Amino acid sequence: MSTSVPQPNLFDTGAAPASQDAAQPQPATNTAPNPANDAPPEKAVKVKAPTTSQPDAMTAEGYGANAIEVLEGLEPVRKRPGMYIGGTDEKAMHHLFAEVLDNSMDEAVAGHAKAIWVELDADGYLSVRDDGRGIPVDPHPKYPGKSALEVVMTVLHSGGKFSGKAYETSGGLHGVGVSVVNALSERLEVTVWRDGYEWQQVFSRGLPQGPIAQLGPSKKRGTRERFIPDPEIFGENAHFRPARLYRMAKAKAYLFRGVQIYWKCAPSLIHDTTPAEDKFYFPNGLADYLAERVVDTETVSEIFSGRVERKGEGGAVEWAVVWSAAGFGEHDGFAQSYCNTIPTPDGGTHEAGLRAALTRSLKSYAEMTGDKRGAIVTAEDVAAQAGIVISVFIKNPEFQGQTKDRLSSSEAQKLVEKALADPFDHWLTSSPKQADKLLQFIVERAEERLKKRKDKEVQRASATRKLRLPGKLADCARQDAKDTELFLVEGDSAGGSAKQARNRNTQAILPLRGKILNVASATGDKAKANQELSDLGLALGVQPGARFKEDDLRYERIVIMTDADVDGAHIASLLITYFYRTMPGMIRNGNLFLAMPPLYRISHGSKTVYARDDAHRTQILEKEFKGKKPEIGRFKGLGEMMPAQLKETTMDPKTRTLARVVLPESEDEVESLVETLMGRKPELRFRYIQENAEFVSEDLDV
């Protein structure tokens, strides 16, 4: 209700001066009379009881009981068709057909009809006839003067499917369907053959065009509805599409093997390959459907199909499942489900029950045959590449929402799980060869899923880290760690050569300013050393110390590549010590390596051999160049080598030698090792690296 809030009456053009009594409560125009109000008489005249003829009924003041309308009969359907058929587009219009067909299917499923005739005439009329019991035509006890047929056609929520007496399991649920079709049809004729007579009643936009008429005796049985959608609702240009009707009719026939559906369409309406006449009859039901669907698909197994009926309990389950490695057309897998022949495109409890049953049986088969990998299989893996069709018939189904798109009856899940368990167990054990193949296939799906998840994690992790990678890192292209290498190179010039010599895909280069790395005996610029070390940590993807996690390592191998001289040895020892102190797990795991760049290049004629050190040189001279006077060159550093040389001698996995850094076995050795490496005697360090026998084991790279 409106209240008398004090308001400057800005719009008042009447006699009362607004300014004078602006502070006084002003009765707003059109409020209900208020006897306690001291309003001036001329204003009271304006106040009158609301009537429907009031022009401003849309204002808040006009919103009274009169604004609350009750739509009678089928009016609401014509006012809000979207609420009943999901819109007024072509899809919605074809839903009219579904409603009428569903009613005939209910009659067939209930065991009273055997055949359904669908016919689209040249003038746009669609008719659906069945040979069922016929809609009752006797007078309705609650609506004097009206036949049951007229009630069914004109009263929402009227029908024979509420109690479960006339129909045990039905797609019809709300008693709304055919009345909606009637409301939205320009003209609808119902013909009923029943009790020896033919009856007919005609409607237009839901309104009877006369009483029900008895046309004469007939031995036929059944119901026919012939109708044309109302152009006022669907538009002048809306027409039924033969191909669409054909598809819908055929799909229904698969869902109930006890029905034959005859299709006929005026040839003048057909502009594609849709047949003008056809008959749908599928004695193997869903198995027939799936077989037809996968006719060009290579499948992993035969179709697993079956039907279980709970006699007397009003429940039945029918299913067909097959797996394909290549997928089904554009889909890897698909699931089509139905409840009481109503499609449930959003799935629901029946689909869940099927997945659960298949998964459980498959896992127990794996266990029975001693295949441990069955443990990782989930319902998701089972369904990922499966073509699934399932249809259940249950009493009082519950759907989510008005559109019946998703089944929510928990009973359906139990029913399906129970129904499928034994047949699938049996199917598996009766053909072990096929079962093993299927199990193998599904285990692979599970492994794929796990791998994908892991890859995703790695990718995500490296994507976030990538943002923080040190600028001087030349990263490799590969995102996951497998088979990748990080070369820690001394100095920018060697870094440049290494960048040219590397395999971009798997090898990354991080140039380091080695000298400032001496963390243990650091006397110099600590801040710069820290920057260097934090760059190193970022590149590796790990954190030093307690938070080090091996799995974070961004590369499989970390290769220290320094010059083959005293300085190089020093830097290598500093790095090894740093890793040893802060991330020993990396060494223990065998991720840390030393590159073995040559010190000498020995060539004679076209023959070139590289020597790691003096001893190696002596050995080579004796073995390879005996009696000759080869040219011997000494590399002053990595930066001096041609990229191709560096690649061949030190970096290319096919030709290089890497030494894996291993931890000494005992604590004592570790102590003396650190002393040797970190002490202030460079000669010791140098010798140590040169004779790295106990410390570095040579590992030919694979």
Ligand X SMILES: Nc1ncnc2c1ncn2[C@@H]1O[C@H](COP(=O)(O)OP(=O)(O)OP(=O)(O)O)[C@@H](O)[C@H]1O
Active site residue 381: no
Pick between residue 103 and residue 562 the one whose CB is nearest to Mg ion: 103
Alpha helical stretches, state H, 508-641? 526-540, 566-582, 584-588, 614-624
Radius of gyration of the chain (CA): 43
Q: Catalytic residue, from 75, 552, 565, 652: name it.
A: 565
Does 132 participate in binding Mg ion (rule CB under 5 A)? no
Q: Fill in the amino acid letter for 23.
A: A
Instruction: Give the CA-trace dihedral at 661, 665, 668, 673, to 10 degrees.
Output: -10
List the one residue out of 627, 511, 623, 520 whose CA is nearest residue 563: 511
CB 138, min distance to ligand X, A: 13
206 in a labelled binding site: no
Instruction: Please state, in angstroms and rounded to a whole number, the distance separating the CA atoms of residues 478 and 464.
Output: 15
Quick check: helix, strand or coil at residue 340? coil
> Is-contact 245 216, C-beta < 8 A?
no
Active site residue 563: yes
Stretch that binds Mg ion, among 123-131, 170-178, 304-312, 500-508 (CB under 5 A): 170-178
Pick between residue 167 and residue 254 the one whose CB is nearest to Mg ion: 167
- Report the interface residues with ligand X, using CB under 6 A: 99, 102-104, 107, 130, 132-133, 135, 152, 159-161, 172-179, 223
Does 409 participate in binding Mg ion (rule CB under 5 A)? no
Residue 132 binding result from ligand X, Mg ion, none, given CB thresholds of 5 to 8 Å by partner type: ligand X
Pick between residue 178 and residue 512 the one whose CB is nearest to Mg ion: 178
Pick between residue 160 and residue 511 the one whose CB is nearest to Mg ion: 160
Instruction: Please state, in angstroms and rounded to a whole number, the distance separating the CA atoms of residues 333 and 324.
Output: 8
Instruction: Please state, in angstroms and rounded to a whole number, the distance separating the CA atoms of residues 294 and 288.
Output: 10
Active site residue 532: no
CB 91, min distance to ligand X, A: 18
**Going by C-beta distance under 8 Å and a sequence separation of 6 or more, which residues neighbour residue 465?**
538, 541, 554
Beta bridge partners of 489: 511, 561
Q: Catalytic residue, from 119, 475, 490, 532: name it.
A: 490
Quick check: helix, strand or coil at residue 607? strand
Q: Catalytic residue, from 186, 567, 624, 652: name it.
A: 567
CB 336, min distance to Mg ion, A: 21
Residue 387 binding result from ligand X, Mg ion, none, given CB thresholds of 5 to 8 Å by partner type: none
CB 137, min distance to ligand X, A: 11
Question: What DSSP string describes 198-219?
Answer: EEEEEEETTEESS--EEEEE--
Return the residue matching tokens 């790990």: 542
178 in a labelled binding site: yes
Instruction: Please state, in angstroms and rounded to a whole number, the distance separating the CA atoms of residues 150 and 136.
Output: 9
CB 318, min distance to Mg ion, A: 21
Pick between residue 158 and residue 361 the one whose CB is nearest to Mg ion: 158
CB 107, min distance to ligand X, A: 4
Question: For the packed helices 667-678 and 566-582, what is the interaxial angle rounded to 10 degrees?
Answer: 140
Q: Fill in the amino acid letter for 41.
A: P
176 in a labelled binding site: yes
Stretch that binds Mg ion, among 155-163, 405-413, 537-545, 628-636 (CB under 5 A): 155-163
613 in a labelled binding site: no
Work out the end-to-end distance of the chain between its first and last CA atoms, rounded to an integer number of angstroms: 87
Does 185 participate in binding Mg ion (rule CB under 5 A)? no
Does 172 participate in binding Mg ion (rule CB under 5 A)? yes
Residue 364: C-alpha distances to residues 263, 387, 440 (Å):
46, 22, 14
Active site residue 398: no
592 in a labelled binding site: no
Stretch that binds Mg ion, among 157-165, 182-190, 252-260, 265-273 (CB under 5 A): 157-165
Instruction: Point out the annotated binding site for ATP.
Output: 63, 103, 130, 172-178, 404
Name the residues annotated as catalytic.
490, 563, 565, 567
Instruction: Point out the annotated binding site.
Output: 63, 103, 130, 172-178, 404
User: Which spans of this chain sit near Mg ion (rule: CB under 5 A)?
Assistant: 103, 158, 172, 175, 177, 179
